[in-house]
Structure 1
Amino acid sequence: MMQKKNREETVVHTFQPVYDENSRVLMLGTMPSPKSREQGFYYGHPRNRFWPVLADILGEPAPGTIEEKKSLALRRRIAVWDVLAGCDICGADDSSIKNPVPNDMNVILSRADIRAVFTTGTKADELYERYCFSQTEIASIRLPSTSPANCRTSYEELRAAYSQILKYL
Structure 2
Amino acid sequence: MHDKCFPPIADAHARILILGSLPGQVSLQRQQYYAQPQNAFWKIMGRLFDAGPERPYAERAQRLVLNGIALWDVCASAQRPGSLDAAIVHSSVVPNDLTAFLANHPGIGLIGFNGGKAADLFRRQVLPGLPAGLRAIRTATLPSTSPAHAAMPFEEKLARWAAVLQNPDQPDPNIFDRGTNRL
The TM-score range, normalised by the shorter chain, is: 0.7 to 0.9
User: Which of residues 8, 20, 26 in structure 2 aligns to 1:35?
Assistant: 26
More relative contact order, 1 or 2 (CA 8 Å, 6+ apart)? 1
Gap change, CA 1:139 and 1:115, over 3 Å in 2: closer
The counterpart of 1:12, out of the listed 4, 11, 27, is 4
Cα distance in 2 between the residues matched to 1:18 and 1:127: 20
User: Percent identity, aligned pairs only?
Assistant: 30
**Matched residue pairs, number?**
159
Q: Is there any run of 5+ residues in structure 2 with no aligned partner, and where?
A: 170-183
Give the TM-score of the pair, scaled to structure 2: 0.81
Question: Aligned partners of 2:7, 2:22: CA distance in 1, in Å?
Answer: 12
What amino acid sits opposite 2:52 in the alignment?
A
Q: Distance in 2 between matches of 1:147 and 1:119?
A: 12
Q: CA RMSD in A?
A: 1.5
Query: Structure 1 stretch 155-164 or stretch 133-142: which is displaced more?
Result: 133-142
State the partner residue of 1:165. Answer: 165
Q: Which has the higher strand share?
A: 1
Structure 1 partner of 2:40: 49
Match of 1:108 in 2: 101
1:133/1:139 contact within 8 Å kept: no
Quick one: distance in 1 between partners of 2:87 and 2:148? Answer: 14
Q: Which residue number in structure 2 is paired with residue 122 of structure 1?
A: 116
